[in-house]
Amino acid sequence: MSPRLRVLFATAEAHPTHRADVRVLFGEALPRDGIDVDLIATTTPQKADAPWSGGRAFLRVAASRKAEMFGDLWQQVSLMWRCGGYDALVVRDKPVLGAIGWLAARLWRIRFCYWMSYPMPQAYLTIAARNDGSVGRLRRIWLRMRGRLGQFVLDRLLVPRADWLFVQTEAMERALRQRGLSHDRVTPVPMGVDVDAIPAPAAAPPEPLRGRPAAVYLGTLDRNRNPELLVDAARRVAARLPGFVMIVVGEADEPADRGWLERYAEETGAGDAVWFTGWLPYAEGLALARHAAVGISPIPRSPLTEVGSPTKAVEYLACGLPVVANDQPDQAHVVLASGGGVVVPFTAEGFANGIVEVLGDPDAWRERAGRARDWVAGSRSYRVLGGLVATRLRECVASGSLADADGLRP
């Protein structure tokens, strides 16, 4: 039996987080596979007592956004004295502060792994490029600086010199190779779902859903995701299926974008066809979603989303819901390989047609989604993905030398 490993995990997300690839993969799946994961992150005063199941938690309480920024910096600096006694350090989605983590790992002679779930520098630069007045000038300047510096650190240090690099998808790996990645210490780890933890449906459908055919969307409402498509599709479906309602569970991550989609629904006359719940706790959102007949996953095709692994399709299928999704590569693969849904064009009409198709024969589609749930359990559950990551971490720790001692170019 392999000895247990000890990993220190520094993540960009505050603790606790709804992100399953943090909460479940690192907090539950890896410990089951013999890897103890100690967490280093910021938290809020209200959530400082939230448990971390992976191991110990080194948390810094931050009561404001500014305090969170300084707290995050302090947490990364503290790696200089906290890395002792660990087999590896994993830094997730911190392209600038990750440089401190890389140096700390080198000083302590432990393995350094970088986890890249999203092209953060490109996201910062995309927001900074807005000229519509939704983002203030100072924030745009800050995001532009952060994006450029982050991309430089990724390209010159973290990606080429990491002892192991975990990326979200094969598409992300290909994009990195186009920017100069030359080594093979890379593992794509798509988003998964904790199949065993999917909650039962809420005891009874809430009043806005009773007796109405419903679709559900779980996720962010940031403008760069074009979520107005949800409203436009709902209006079209309601014109063909009276009583139809689109459940929208979520809110925008970007402060400037919050609340605008509800205003858009009212302005376009779709208010009765869309029910906005705002953010809900993860389990509560899934329990509500199970009262719908179909899950919706519109992901615009762009350099940011092309390399991603959306969670919605696998979550819907794990709930036994058929899926209507567009052709973003990873989610299209999930839908087609599992047989649990339809792939449509990224247009309001395309999604409306897909929803009407599923609602036209809900029993047959529920049966297909039930079979697709088995595919998800075998391919995208965190038990399976956790085994993959654990194997790679053990290979990394057992390797003979640190990456930057192997003659890699910067």
Q: What percent of the chain has pLDDT over 70?
A: 97
What pLDDT shows up at residue 81?
A: 96
Distance CA 116, CA 130 (A): 24
User: Please, which pLDDT band fits residue 404 given cuts at 50, 70 and 90?
Assistant: low
- pLDDT(347) > 60: yes
With contact defined as beta carbons under 8 Å apart, do 356 and 240 qualify? yes
Higher pLDDT, 282 or 234: 234
With contact defined as beta carbons under 8 Å apart, do 308 and 168 qualify? yes
Higher pLDDT, 64 or 388: 388
What pLDDT shows up at residue 1?
A: 64
3-state secondary structure of 301: coil
CA separation (Å) from 255 to 24, 38, 246? Answer: 27, 31, 23
User: Please, which pLDDT band fits residue 406 given cuts at 50, 70 and 90?
Assistant: very low
User: Please, which pLDDT band fits residue 271 given cuts at 50, 70 and 90?
Assistant: confident
Higher pLDDT, 222 or 246: 246
Token pair listed for 292: 């719908």
Mean pLDDT, residues 189-196: 92
Mean pLDDT, residues 204-222: 87
Question: Which residue, chain included where needed, has tokens 């994961």?
Answer: 37
Mean pLDDT, residues 151-157: 94
With contact defined as beta carbons under 8 Å apart, do 382 and 376 qualify? no
What pLDDT shows up at residue 124?
A: 85
User: Please, which pLDDT band fits residue 401 given cuts at 50, 70 and 90?
Assistant: low
What pLDDT shows up at residue 408?
A: 39
**Preceding amide of 16 cis, omega within 30:** yes
Closest CA to 79 of 39, 50, 52: 39
The model's pLDDT over 292-326, given as tens digits with 9 standing for 90+, comes to: 999 999 999 988 889 999 999 999 999 999 999 99
What pLDDT shows up at residue 410?
A: 33
With contact defined as beta carbons under 8 Å apart, do 169 and 308 qualify? yes
pTM of the model: 0.88
Distance CA 246, CA 258 (A): 18
